[in-house]
Amino acid sequence: MSGNDGKTSRKLKLWEALALSLGLMGPTLAMGGNGQGLIDSVGKAIPLVFVFGLVGVALIAYGFIRLTRYYNHAGSAYALVGATVGPRAGFFSGFALLGTYVFFSICTLAALGAFANALLAALQHGANKPYQLPWIVPALAGALLSVYFSTRDTRTISKVLLLVEGIGIVFMIILTATIFAKGGAPTTHVDFSSFSLDGVGFQAVAAAVVAAFLSWAGFEGCATLGEETDDPKRNIPLALLGSVVLTGALFVIVMFAQTIGFGTDAAGLAAFKGSGNTLGALAETYLGRPVALILIFSAVLAAFGSHLSSVATASRLLFALSRDGFGPRILGALDSRHGQPRNAVWVVLAVTAIVDLIAYLTGRPNIGTGDLAIDAYFHFAIIGSVCLMVVYLMVEVGVTRLILSGQVAIPKWELVIPVLGMAVIVTALYFNLVGPFDPFAAPVLALGWCVLGLLVTLCAPSMVRSIGNRLAGELGAPSKS
């Protein structure tokens, strides 16, 4: 049963755990807002970036799938790394992962503001200067709505997310098929050179892989439901695998369709970069206004759904850390009625709303897309993605140590998978940090958050030791199965 004892009840099914991961990834959000910020760095090679991203995510997914066969906990990577590498590494991973989903909560509200205005503009067809709301207005409205949904039963959230993403994915597939059937943009047609390094350097593509990771970020979100899911050692790994498989080919093909749909010449890439919602813009061109309105509305719902999932994941991490000794104990308590970490939810939502409000009032960040809401989305999303890649690196270290320990019956040849995953992560992080130093650049701010977590880890050894002892008691030793 659930209640203020800090224990969650097992009641979620496989599809509900999968729905949380899909909602957190937000396929409609990812495909409608993740390409614009890459145009300046990689041009038409965006589909190639996503191919590299898919390979990296598949290697990383292996680590989560392997580890969740033996360990399940509300803290996700916090517990997985703590159980395999040690309590200090576990706490550091949990701190980095908390930053990831707090920043994702922030960026998805900004995306909600951008997509709401794209919908508003589409409803004013033919207007030279369509009326636009300050993007913070729909963003804060979304935050208020989150207060209700995020304190409800997890099963309710899962149903909402599945419905939202189901609608968006269906129309994405229809749009993609139509673009291919019509041969892409009249000027450049179906241009397969977008899968090559033609005209762009490997360094630029490798650096852009972080943005591709952003699209898959959240596939591991269901791991935070390990304490709430039926048969978690079976269903959580299956949900992780399903979330990557279902979205892998989809993301690469849809991003390719969008690139050729706008056109791979200068004019097409400029239109791609300047779009407030690329799926909606292409739908109007290839399918007509009614379908465009449906797709943009789906993107609005997807942004909200991704925000809900981000809040759910961040609050569970904050709950798990506070329950185990980091932070006020009140944040480690559950609502007795719905079994939700309500106090942690309120803290996450308050931080999210304040940061978005500051971004709106200052007009920062401004990365040059021409839409300040998309700029804020992309900037904070990259911060979260870099934090997440650090966490992924720690998980790969964890599964490597588990294999080498001999505690479980995993063939030693499988070591090559996490080693390759670590190589992908380190390469992407390196190419994001080389060059002139900018203290406000997203990768630098992300590493700053991780350094803060490292300092806390090193300066509070007794707290970390206590957390480690509790984790050991909760998780126990893995079985040989």
- The model's pLDDT over 454-466, given as tens digits with 9 standing for 90+, comes to 998 888 887 777 7
Domain holding 338: CATH number?
Answer: 1.20.1740.10
Please return the burial class of 288, using the count of CB atoms within 10 Å of its CB with bins 0-12, 13-18 and 19+: exposed
Q: Are the CB atoms for 162 and 308 separated by under 8 Å?
A: no
Is 339 among the domain residues?
A: yes
Average pLDDT estimate for 451-456: 92
> What is the band of 2 on the pLDDT scale with cuts at 50, 70, 90?
very low
Is 161 among the domain residues?
A: yes
Q: Burial letters for 113-127: b for 16+ Cβ neighbours within 10 Å, e otherwise?
A: bbbbbbbbbbeeeee
> What is the band of 153 on the pLDDT scale with cuts at 50, 70, 90?
low
Average pLDDT, the chain: 82
Is 481 among the domain residues?
A: no
Non-local CB neighbours of 473 within 8 Å, separated by 6+ positions: none
Q: What is the pLDDT of residue 286?
A: 95
Percent of the chain at pLDDT > 70 equals: 82
Is 100 among the domain residues?
A: yes
Is 175 among the domain residues?
A: yes
Q: Identify the domain containing residue 265 by its residue range.
A: 14-475
Instruction: Give CA–CA dist 446/374, Å, rounded.
Output: 19
Is 58 among the domain residues?
A: yes
Instruction: Give CA–CA dist 306/298, Å, rounded.
Output: 12
Number of structural domains, the chain? 1
What is the enclosing helix (H) or strand (E) of 308? helix 289-323
DSSP letter at 477? P
What does pTM read for this prediction? 0.83
Q: What is the pLDDT of residue 210?
A: 86
Is 110 among the domain residues?
A: yes
Q: What is the dihedral of CA 288, 289, 291, 294, to 10 degrees?
A: 170
Q: Are the CB atoms for 380 and 101 separated by under 8 Å?
A: no
Is 29 among the domain residues?
A: yes
Lowest mean pLDDT among 108-117, 147-156, 211-220, 429-438: 147-156
Average pLDDT estimate for 101-105: 93
Instruction: Give CA–CA dist 389/404, Å, rounded.
Output: 23
Residue-wise DSSP of 96-157: HHHHHHHHHHHHHHHHHHHHHHHHHHHHTTT-SS-----THHHHHHHHHHHHHHTTS-HHHH
More confident of the two residues 354 and 312:
354
